[in-house]
Structure 1
């Protein structure tokens, strides 16, 4: 049971009611309001031990009020919730001093867990908020799916640190985009951002490319033949893409730089201070490379201080409409004609595997914008272009099962990484089982056109068990036509 007074601020009466009832059952006293002005008055009067607030309210923006709350009552935790689930919202919430940021629709158990955590740490929240970053119209990243919300929350916590970050994900998921966002909205934004793809450099040239090279002595001084990426990135960020392709000798040299904070060019003796933040990325399994003796374990832990795993596009199909429309806007900005896309065409895009991930979708939309003669891209035009994709665009069935297991493992690891030292809210087993069962049963019903007898046989479960799961999971069953 929790003990404390919680202020709930949200202009949605249903949300206020749900949160108030849940918090009251948990042992809290609750005061709720639908306005920013009332929230501020209660804060000034010393009310509340924790605030749970929406961002957009009829009379103002809670994120604009948050610095004043932090100044007036620096020990008052404020949990921000928002339906504007973009990376900029997460960044603004963190920069303004929010205790936690939760996207809507929220997980009620997670809200209660964060409130309980905030109550147990009363008095530990202090310090003035950092200056808010400028509001950007053009978002650096697109996606409102739950998978991307976890990425945004981790990114927001890392913006104003120099912690090492390891971004993992399949090719085409946007690893460099994340690295650029961490730089552009971080404390090194005024410095250079230098990206190097280690897979594109001859292995015997990687050390020279990273650390520079001298050709000899002239007039008693070393003469640089090549200025390395570390030197170019001084005061900024160095993004090491495909770090798994780095040879062992270069790994040893990089480890020494990370340990000692300085480096010397190849063939030289003069030492240079390494004043740069390192962000690494890979599409490979570095732990497997470690086991094979191809990647140094000590370097892995130096680089992998905070892991960020980017989900493949097949795990964030709900983001495809926003992505597709944004790519069409990008194509228009590049000089192509303005195009819309039909709902049927969007649905067809969401049914694809996208082995090339977001990059493949972007290329397809640019091609459609150039080739489609009509103002609106129709389903048949999308189908024609998809049919001409290389066969590698379809993921082999054998690999899908392997990737499903790996995907679940990575999802759970990311879930635990997100909660740090504190345990996640209870009920994790049931939550994960439900997340797997729901699409499994829904898609099986769709494949059998709603025939529950055939679906039970397909799944290998009793028909009564299937009927109960359909009811518990609130799955709509439609007979006679294929359901999507």
Structure 2
């Protein structure tokens, strides 16, 4: 945002040149946004730069609002955090605030870069202090005169050109609350004629991201904004107010860096019976407004299920916000959910911040690991669901919200209710529509498709050609029990890409050792129980075979294909359904099975 000092940058630069020629030192002028407006010497070539990272002295002067003399910058406490402290050539800093209507709008600083300059200044210290403060007052007067002149000259003629290019809306109102100027951003925001209209500014009292939260009331409509107000007097003593604002919702979304406009989630993959049933259920649930409770083991894809519900709902164009209740410390979880205002608690961002509920307004809020939410927050969450409003930490303002709650847990909430670890009333509020995500071992038929999807995705990440995962690798993936579910499967595929190196194709040597060992042990156990698996394939037509039968038969030196089939029929039964199951396990058609056993 442009500052008042920046409007007089050329004139202020002449002042710094004059001061430098008189004192023999370098001079800087910094505005209240810690932007260098003017400078001499080496600072002349660094105008309009943000000095907030190393401008600790200037920041201090803006805060204390008085003249500060730093006789040894390298040793002063204010300079300890400066990144350039060890290489700094400054020997002395003399800084004075620049006031406008009792508000500090910048700092003017005299900088001694060698011992001779420092000694010269210290011999006349009080005179230099008086000198710099007088220059500060002169700059303040020039800024004031400029503002007054701008109003009289074609309603801030040149100032209008400046504010019209700002991305924030700017509206100027007089003492009667009448709008006499508005920039292009303000016109786009309100989408109507503004000049001469009455504008009310309803300040909530909450400070968020360094701005005041307010409602601008125009033609009986309320607009939610974050704003700054600058009030001053004109030549005829009329009170003028400049309102610099931006849309609260848009800004809050941007500064929270939430990917509400992107699709960070993988699709719901799988065509097994379990997954088809789940997809069918989600299509029905999505079009409702009911709260959803998703249960399932860790890594089974609960967030993907939640996102699928959001994407298929009427809220799909609104935000989908997630928060992991187990990953955030208990003392911070409340502020993450409901937000907080400036000064709410020690250690908080002094600018304030909104919470996940406000970010999700109009969309969906996914509360992952809801079973880890503390009891006292469960009570507050229940009240939010009942009243459909929240209160930020440190504020008294009630904020209405429209959010669909989708919760998830890998815990048994009913058991937790019985033990008094989870509120029963909240459980029933969340469990309107219960959905269970199956463990990966319960829909093994989808392993090949999932693995190939992850492989294709990781090929893009690692900038390698897409490669088909060979059947022998898929067979090992089928035989593993997957305690970590889909998340573990993706990790295994990424491990393979890391281990692949310069090898063209993926192979068994790229699998994690633990998976190879576990799969081999499982094969031995299956052999012991005479359970004969069959060859797996990633063909979408063959989704149920768990192992590579041909490799198995070869490694175990089985002598009779007929005996193999008969052994399998002993397990599945010789009924028609049993034979269909055996054919399915072997990966052959029922007709082929009949031909091989000649029945």
Identify the match of residue 202 of structure 1 among 329, 339, 345.
329
Q: Retained in 2: the 8 A contact 1:336–1:370?
A: no
Which residue in the other structure is 1:238 paired with?
365
**Which 10-residue stretch deviates more, 311-320 or 181-190?**
181-190
Q: Retained in 1: the 8 A contact 2:572–2:579?
A: no
* Distance 1:476-1:155 versus aligned 2 partners, 3 A rule: closer
Which secondary structure state, in structure 2, belongs to the residue aligned with residue 330 of structure 1?
Answer: helix
Which residue in the other structure is 2:279 paired with?
152
Which residue in the other structure is 1:162 paired with?
289
CA distance in 1, matches of 2:328, 2:574: 53
Structure 2 gaps of 5+ residues are 1-262, 345-349, 526-545, 588-599
1:281-305: CA deviation from partner (whole Å, max 9, x where unpaired): 0011111110110101111111111
1:177-205: CA deviation from partner (whole Å, max 9, x where unpaired): 11112222321122111100000111122
Cα shift at 1:468 = 5.4
Identify the match of residue 493 of structure 2 among 348, 365, 380.
365
CA distance in 1, matches of 2:284, 2:490: 28
Which residue in the other structure is 1:247 paired with?
374
CA distance in 2, matches of 1:476, 1:304: 37
Identify the match of residue 463 of structure 2 among 336, 339, 344.
336
Which residue in the other structure is 1:120 paired with?
none
CA distance in 1, matches of 2:478, 2:572: 28
From the two aligned structures, give the one with the greater strand fraction.
Answer: 2
Cα shift at 1:453 = 12
Write out aligned runs for 1:398-417 (5 A): none
Which secondary structure state, in structure 2, belongs to the residue aligned with residue 163 of structure 1?
Answer: coil
Q: Which has the higher contact order (CA 8 A, sep 6+)?
A: 1
Write out aligned runs for 1:100-139 (5 A): none
TM-score, normalising length: structure 1? 0.52
Which secondary structure state, in structure 2, belongs to the residue aligned with residue 360 of structure 1?
Answer: helix
Write out aligned runs for 1:30-429 (5 A): 140-215=267-342, 225-338=352-465, 339-372=467-500, 373-382=502-511, 384=513, 386-387=515-516
CA distance in 2, matches of 1:174, 1:476: 29
CA distance in 2, matches of 1:284, 1:227: 29
Q: Retained in 2: the 8 A contact 1:165–1:304?
A: yes
1:131-172: CA deviation from partner (whole Å, max 9, x where unpaired): xxxxx9x97211011111111011111222221011111111
Which secondary structure state, in structure 1, belongs to the residue aligned with residue 298 of structure 2?
Answer: coil
CA distance in 2, matches of 1:175, 1:343: 28
Q: Retained in 1: the 8 A contact 2:499–2:510?
A: no
CA distance in 2, matches of 1:162, 1:193: 14
CA distance in 1, matches of 2:471, 2:573: 33
Q: Retained in 1: the 8 A contact 2:321–2:364?
A: yes
Which residue in the other structure is 1:103 paired with?
none
Higher-Rg structure is 2
Q: Retained in 1: the 8 A contact 2:440–2:482?
A: yes
Q: Retained in 1: the 8 A contact 2:319–2:359?
A: yes
Q: Retained in 2: the 8 A contact 1:340–1:375?
A: no
1:110-134: CA deviation from partner (whole Å, max 9, x where unpaired): xxxxxxxxxxxxxxxxxxxxxxxxx
Structure 1 gaps of 5+ residues are 1-135, 218-222, 398-438, 457-462
1:304-355: CA deviation from partner (whole Å, max 9, x where unpaired): 1111110111001100111111111101111332222111111111000111
1:392-432: CA deviation from partner (whole Å, max 9, x where unpaired): x99xx9xxxxxxxxxxxxxxxxxxxxxxxxxxxxxxxxxxx
Which secondary structure state, in structure 2, belongs to the residue aligned with residue 263 of structure 1?
Answer: strand
CA distance in 2, matches of 1:249, 1:473: 55
* Distance 1:474-1:249 versus aligned 2 partners, 3 A rule: same
1:34-79: CA deviation from partner (whole Å, max 9, x where unpaired): xxxxxxxxxxxxxxxxxxxxxxxxxxxxxxxxxxxxxxxxxxxxxx
Q: Retained in 2: the 8 A contact 1:212–1:224?
A: no
CA distance in 2, matches of 1:454, 1:369: 39
Q: For this pair of structures, how many residues does the alignment match?
A: 284
CA distance in 1, matches of 2:572, 2:315: 56
Residues 1:474 and 2:572 aligned together: no
CA distance in 2, matches of 1:264, 1:233: 15
* Distance 1:216-1:335 versus aligned 2 partners, 3 A rule: closer
